[in-house]
Amino acid sequence: MSIAEKIPGMKPGSRIRNGVLGVVYVLLVLTIIGAAAPSSDDPGEGAQSPSPSADTDTTTIETTQATTQATTQDTTKAATQETTTTTATTTKTTTTTTVSPAPDGESYQFSGSGNDVTGEFSTEGGLVVFDFEHDGSSNFQVQAVSGSGEKTYLVNEIGTYDGQVALYQPPGTYRLDVTADGSWDVDITQPRFNQNDIHDLPAQASGKHAAWFGPYEFDGSAEVTFEIKNDAQAGVWLATHEGEKIDLLHNEIGPYEGSALVTDKGVGLIIVDTDSADWRIEVRE
């Protein structure tokens, strides 16, 4: 008889014996499993993988950084565009100028009757004044023709004429092509001004053909009142002292009366362009 059989209740087939054997078997299995399981101090694959919350945090940070960078770039771009727009904004530049002393250019005089072409005359570049007279009753037309064939119309009137056409003429050689039915003459001058030639305002004048006035010193707030008494067309220009037209103040068919501001500052001329208007002008500060 074995020792187990000598123990009370441990006979083969007894319930106690079977229970004890079951407990021993369970303990043996647990011991084997415990030996095979890794130590809690040995990090496994689970410890090496970032947790889902870490993934979320990383994604959030990267997205926030990208959004911040894009916002910064957009803000910088907008600021750059705004700066560029501000830089591109310009102010009106005064186109009238101060007067530098200079001698008058060469003068010429031509006269004739009926259709004719004058001899040559030269311009040095600047203000040229054509002082015309015509005593016929039909067309009186005059154009300046350059050496290269370019034409500039100066007068186109019917009947008598007495006017001064003032304009900037580039340097070169010219001739006058005249169409007339009566006697005519023209004086060509090239006025140059110095500081003593500047006239004071107010000033006023009247006439029936082309004319020019000045030079005047404009302060940026002068007022030009112009009246046309008949039904003819006329224009009034602000020009530099060299005759370059820079601002059309009036351009009307009469009867007409109105005022316009001269917003430019500096020395300039007032030029009336017309063939037959009966006009009156006043310039005041």
Q: Distance (Å, rounded) from C-alpha 282 to C-alpha 222?
A: 10
Residues 152 and 263 both lie in one domain: yes
- Which pLDDT score is estimated for 14? 54
Residues 17 and 155 both lie in one domain: no
- Which pLDDT score is estimated for 46? 40
The answer to whether 263 and 196 have CB atoms below 8 angstroms apart is no
In a domain, 22, yes or no: yes
Low-confidence stretches of the chain (pLDDT < 70) are 1-102
Question: Would you state the structure tokens that stand for residue 278, as one six-digit string?
Answer: 């009966």
- Which pLDDT score is estimated for 35? 54
Residues 10 and 129 both lie in one domain: no
Peptide bond into 215 cis (omega under 30): yes
Residues 238 and 140 both lie in one domain: yes
Task: List the CATH number of the domain containing 222.
Answer: 2.60.120.380
Residues 12 and 141 both lie in one domain: no
Residues 267 and 144 both lie in one domain: yes
Residues 21 and 156 both lie in one domain: no
For residue 154, give its domain range: 108-284
- Which pLDDT score is estimated for 103? 80
Residues 19 and 152 both lie in one domain: no
Q: What is the per-residue pLDDT across 129-180, written as a single tens digit (0 to 9) for each?
A: 999 999 999 999 999 999 999 999 999 999 999 999 999 999 999 999 999 9
Residues 31 and 117 both lie in one domain: no
- Which pLDDT score is estimated for 104? 83
Give the 3-state secondary structure of residue 153: strand
- Which pLDDT score is estimated for 206? 97
- Specify the number of domains making up the chain: 2
Other Cβ atoms closer than 10 A to 235: 17
In a domain, 26, yes or no: yes
In a domain, 12, yes or no: yes
Q: Which residues contact 23 (CB under 8 A, 6 or more apart)?
A: none
- Which pLDDT score is estimated for 49? 40
Degrees to nearest 5, angle at CA 148 with 174 and 113: 35
Residues 7 and 114 both lie in one domain: no
In a domain, 41, yes or no: no
Is the pTM value of this prediction over 0.85?
Answer: no
In a domain, 97, yes or no: no
In a domain, 95, yes or no: no
- Which pLDDT score is estimated for 268? 97
Other Cβ atoms closer than 10 A to 247: 17
- Which pLDDT score is estimated for 279? 98
Other Cβ atoms closer than 10 A to 145: 16
Residues 118 and 29 both lie in one domain: no
Residues 135 and 274 both lie in one domain: yes
